[in-house]
Amino acid sequence: MRYYKKKEAIDKRKADIQPIGESLKALMQAYRLDGKLSEVQLVQNWEKIMGKPIALKTQQLYFKDGKLFVKLTSAPLKHELNMSKSKVVEILNTEAGSNVVKDIVFL
């Protein structure tokens, strides 16, 4: 009889096992860090997302209250990106997989 109880306990533990990726994702959501992680990943992947020419003229990137602030060294590029602001926000949110960027400000 005792052996049977141990087997049930082992089966129960196996049912509770989940991949580490799922565990980390649940942990990030529990501590509400998933949005912050997405913001950091967007900043780190700026060159890959926007391309090398834009990345070379980007001086600084940072998030504040859901807004992405981008400091550029080129006034014509700043004007061009301001004209296509909604498309840039859409590209960044698609890359992040969620609505991380609510607005973008070019400085």
Which residues touch 19 (CB under 8 Å, ≥6 apart)? none
Q: What is the CATH number of domain 2-106?
A: 3.30.300
Q: What is the structure's pLDDT at 46?
A: 93
User: For residue range 13-50, what is the model confidence (pLDDT) as tens digits?
Assistant: 666 777 888 888 887 778 777 788 888 999 999 999 99
Q: What is the pTM of this model?
A: 0.72
User: For residue range 40-99, what is the model confidence (pLDDT) as tens digits?
Assistant: 999 999 999 999 999 999 999 999 988 999 999 999 999 999 999 999 999 999 998 889
Domain chopping of the chain, boundaries: 2-106
